[in-house]
Amino acid sequence: MTIVTRFAPSPTGLLHLGHAHAALFAEARAHEAAGESPPPTEAPGGRFLLRIEDIDRTRCRGEFEAALIEDLGWLGLSWETPVRRQSAHMDDYAGALRHLETGNLVYPCFCTRLAIAAEIAAAAAAPHGPDGPIYPGTCRALADAERRQRIAAGIPYALRLDVARAARQTGPLAWTDRAKGEQAARPEIFGDVVLARKETPTSYHLAVTVDDALQGVTLVTRGEDLFAATHVHRLLQALLGLPTPAYHHHPLLADAHGRRFAKRDRALTLRALRESGRAPEDVRALAGF
């Protein structure tokens, strides 16, 4: 089987060494597959894709997209064209959302962030998930008539996945991480995740799941910080009838003090390293390759 991997940055800042590590890791997995001496009749395995995750129009900038493409090329990476840019494919995500709506698996949530925080603060026990306190499910129980009335009144709302209902429909699910082995999917740890908002009519979870399937990605590589998100992606795959790729979540590259790189570490952007006279090979080595 041809291994297809991808690097999927969001153009919200300049790339740093942690991104370089993730990009080189994804490319290495594709190249190592290509080196597996395929039988002469088969196409060599190993394709590496770049995807621009720019659904959040308030945070993404064209200049950061141009910079990351230039920086990755300077580092010596090459990828297939055309590059998929998520903002150009909103119809694909809308179609997936409609499918879930038709299946009665999403509901409108009218709660403001403030109201959710107040409700959680007032609760005796507020379960936490990987992204913080879990949404208490306030709007899940609203009657249809009430929903229609609020929508007609123009009250803004988000669409949330009814995770318990969805999981009942799919039954138990599993996925495999190359480093950690077989995992039983536990999408409920996030609660009813938001799949769309008015200003961003899709979400990270929905867009990434749809894109990995549409692009034929067979091995999703990304940092361990997104390990838990895969539980939700596995559920969405089952609901949308999409294939399940293999996963390889890698440790995040840390600096000399054991801290993760972040966009605020200006000195360690690829741009700054390059401008300080470092060669691409040096930067690859700093990124662990």
List residues binding ligand GLU (CB under 6 A). Answer: 8-10, 53, 208, 222, 226
Residue pair 3/219 in contact (Cβ under 8 Å)? The answer is yes
Three-state SS for 232?
helix
Q: What is the SS3 assignment for 103-165?
A: CCCEEEECCCHHHHHHHHHHCCCCCEECCEECCCCHHHHCCHHHHHHHHHCCCCCEEEECHHH
Minimal distance, residue 103 CB to ligand GLU, in Å: 24
* Alpha-carbon distances of 258 from 22, 25, 255, rounded to whole Å: 17, 19, 5
The set of residues, in sequence order, having a beta carbon less than 8 Å from that of 256 and lying 6+ positions away, is: none
Minimal distance, residue 200 CB to ligand GLU, in Å: 14
| Closer CB to ligand GLU, 126 or 226, in the complex | 226
| Closer CB to ligand GLU, 208 or 213, in the complex | 208
Minimal distance, residue 142 CB to ligand GLU, in Å: 32
| Closer CB to ligand GLU, 111 or 220, in the complex | 220
Q: Which of 93, 131, 237, 132 is nearest to 176 (CA)?
A: 237
Ramachandran category for residue 267: left, alpha or beta (phi over 0 → left; psi -120 to 50 → alpha): alpha
Minimal distance, residue 226 CB to ligand GLU, in Å: 5
Minimal distance, residue 53 CB to ligand GLU, in Å: 4
| Closer CB to ligand GLU, 116 or 240, in the complex | 240
Residue pair 18/260 in contact (Cβ under 8 Å)? The answer is yes
First-residue to last-residue Cα distance in the chain: 25
| Closer CB to ligand GLU, 47 or 222, in the complex | 222
| Closer CB to ligand GLU, 6 or 160, in the complex | 6
Number of H helices and number of E strands within the chain?
10, 12
Minimal distance, residue 232 CB to ligand GLU, in Å: 11
CA dist 200 and 48 (Å) reads 28
